[in-house]
């Protein structure tokens, strides 16, 4: 039976750039969602998105949109520096929010977002999609079953050989909070942290280096001609996070690492077994021998689409009362780790995470 309009979740957008387009594509497929409005400071962008996805109202002022449209839920898809003000405004306007990763520029802002959700009794979800991947769930289940014993170490790698974004504001520290660590390292870090059971981070140390993005380059690459003049973020971040339960994570994230092969992977080492994400596999002992376990089949195609699952889970959470797999609190814990690494890099010593 076709659902009536009143049964639909009325969704609006703040930011109508690249990732907003992905949100729109998935919402459009959902029978229980109605996209009611979108806002972007770039009038032409929001207009063309609205035409593409048949969204009736385009705004250049998100505050006006929130006031006039009163959406049930908002996708916040702006550069990182606007995640906090836009999310708080949407929550105060009575909407649930899915905010894109990372949660914010820093944990102080993130805490304000969580406080606003609590105060308004609305739900705040962080747009972490990799936890929804079938291979992530395969490993998560093994960890939760205790197959790997206590996880004592996670190695996180998000390394591009030459992949400095040549669009948007990804090289601007003032608008993004940082470079590859907060932009791509965050993806593999959140997934690893989630699989490890979301332990509480207590200390961080790290170093960051800028040596390439701030210079003009003629090297042939995937995304040439980035804006090197406004590039104020790191090219490479390395760090270590210690957790209350004694576990450790090491992370490496780079837009431009001189390496043979790009890496997008995590490795877990536990007391009884280990795991890798790519390719997905478990390493343990059985029958007095060391054995490897790999899934012989994982869902592929649309059924495996992590982004689709993330969007579906958000709607199920705010509209149908199901649990979310990515609460704002998880975004805040990850943010504290990112902050800790940046703070340690600035201070040249390990820092405590509160």
Ligand X SMILES: NC(=O)c1ccc[n+]([C@@H]2O[C@H](COP(=O)([O-])OP(=O)(O)OC[C@H]3O[C@@H](n4cnc5c(N)ncnc54)[C@H](O)[C@@H]3O)[C@@H](O)[C@H]2O)c1
Least spacing, CB of residue 13 vs ligand X, in Å: 8
Least spacing, CB of residue 238 vs ligand X, in Å: 21
Q: Which of 10, 15, 55, 257 binds ligand X (CB under 6 A)?
A: 15
DSSP string, 101-166: SSS-SSHHHHHHHHHHHHHHT--EEEE--GGGSHHHHHHHHHHHTTTT-SEEEEEEEEE-SS----
d(CA 129, CA 138): 15
Task: Give 85 or 270: the residue with its C-beta nearer to ligand X.
Answer: 85
Task: Give 191 or 284: the residue with its C-beta nearer to ligand X.
Answer: 191
Whether residue 65 contacts residue 311, with contact meaning beta carbons closer than 8 Å, is answered with no
Nearest to 270 by CA among 248, 254, 299, 252: 248
CA 349 to chain centre: 27
Looking at 15-23, 142-150, 237-245, 340-348, which segment touches ligand X (CB under 6 A)?
15-23
The count of other CB atoms within 10 Å of the CB of residue 50 is 22
d(CA 103, CA 114): 10
Whether residue 105 contacts residue 80, with contact meaning beta carbons closer than 8 Å, is answered with yes
Please tell me whether residue 331 binds ligand X under the rule CB under 6 A.
no
Task: Give 7 or 52: the residue with its C-beta nearer to ligand X.
Answer: 52
Looking at 2-10, 16-24, 109-117, 223-231, which segment touches ligand X (CB under 6 A)?
16-24
Nearest to 109 by CA among 86, 90, 78: 86
Least spacing, CB of residue 254 vs ligand X, in Å: 16
Looking at 77-85, 145-153, 200-208, 295-303, which segment touches ligand X (CB under 6 A)?
77-85
Looking at 72-80, 149-157, 224-232, 288-296, which segment touches ligand X (CB under 6 A)?
72-80
Please tell me whether residue 43 binds ligand X under the rule CB under 6 A.
no
Give the residue closest to ligand X by C-beta. Answer: 17
**Peptide bond preceding 329 in cis form (omega within 30 of 0):** no
Task: Give 236 or 311: the residue with its C-beta nearer to ligand X.
Answer: 311
Least spacing, CB of residue 235 vs ligand X, in Å: 17
**Peptide bond preceding 192 in cis form (omega within 30 of 0):** no
Least spacing, CB of residue 88 vs ligand X, in Å: 13
Whether residue 12 contacts residue 67, with contact meaning beta carbons closer than 8 Å, is answered with no
SS3 169: coil
Nearest to 280 by CA among 153, 185, 140: 140
Spatial neighbors of 59 by CB under 8 A, at least 6 apart, are: 37, 38, 39, 46, 65
Task: Give 224 or 246: the residue with its C-beta nearer to ligand X.
Answer: 224
Please tell me whether residue 40 binds ligand X under the rule CB under 6 A.
yes
Task: Give 63 or 150: the residue with its C-beta nearer to ligand X.
Answer: 63
The pattern of x and - marking residues 144 through 183 that bind ligand X according to CB under 6 A reads: ------------------------x--------------x
Place of tokens 């109508």: 16
Q: How many CA atoms lie within 13 A of 28 on its CB side?
A: 13
- Interface of this chain with ligand X, residues 104 to 133, rule: CB under 6 A: 127, 129
Please tell me whether residue 39 binds ligand X under the rule CB under 6 A.
yes
Please tell me whether residue 53 binds ligand X under the rule CB under 6 A.
no
Task: Give 79 or 270: the residue with its C-beta nearer to ligand X.
Answer: 79
Least spacing, CB of residue 16 vs ligand X, in Å: 6
Please tell me whether residue 195 binds ligand X under the rule CB under 6 A.
no
The binding site for ligand X (CB under 6 A) comprises: 14-20, 39-42, 45, 62, 77-80, 82, 100-101, 127, 129, 168, 183
């Amino acid at each position: 039976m076709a659902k009536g309009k009143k049964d639909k979740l009325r969704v609006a957008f703040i930011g109508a750039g690249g990732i907003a387009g992905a949100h729109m594509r998935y919402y459009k497929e959902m029978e229980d969602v109605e996209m009611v409005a979108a806002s972007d400071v770039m009038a032409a962008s929001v207009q063309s998105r609205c035409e593409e996805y048949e969204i009736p109202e385009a705004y250049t002022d998100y505050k006006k949109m929130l006031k006039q449209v009163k959406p049930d839920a908002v996708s916040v898809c702006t550069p990182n520096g606007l995640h906090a003000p836009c999310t708080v405004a949407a929550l105060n306007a009575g909407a649930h929010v899915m905010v894109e990763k990372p949660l914010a520029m820093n944990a102080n802002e993130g805490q304000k977002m969580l406080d606003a959700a609590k105060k308004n009794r609305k739900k705040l979800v962080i747009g972490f999609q990799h936890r929804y991947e079938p291979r992530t769930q395969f490993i998560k289940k093994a960890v939760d079953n205790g197959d790997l014993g206590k996880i004592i170490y996670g190695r996180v790698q998000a390394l591009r050989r030459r992949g400095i974004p040549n669009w948007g504001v990804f090289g601007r520290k003032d608008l993004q909070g940082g470079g590859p660590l907060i932009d791509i390292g965050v993806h593999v870090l959140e997934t690893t942290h989630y699989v490890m059971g979301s332990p509480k981070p207590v200390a961080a140390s790290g170093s960051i280096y800028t040596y390439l993005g701030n210079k003009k380059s003629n090297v042939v690459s995937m995304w040439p001609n980035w804006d090197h003049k406004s590039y104020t973020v790191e090219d490479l971040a390395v760090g270590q996070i210690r957790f209350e339960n004694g576990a450790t994570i090491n992370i490496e994230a780079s837009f431009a690492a001189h390496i043979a092969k790009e890496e997008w992977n995590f490795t877990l080492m536990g007391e009884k077994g280990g795991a890798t994400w790519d390719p997905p596999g478990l390493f343990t002992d059985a029958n007095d021998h060391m054995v490897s376990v790999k899934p012989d089949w994982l869902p592929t195609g649309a059924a495996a689409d992590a982004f689709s699952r993330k969007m579906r889970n958000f709607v199920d959470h705010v509209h149908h009362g199901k649990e979310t797999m990515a609460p704002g609190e998880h975004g805040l814990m990850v943010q504290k780790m990112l902050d800790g690494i940046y703070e340690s890099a600035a201070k040249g010593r390990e820092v405590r995470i509160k």
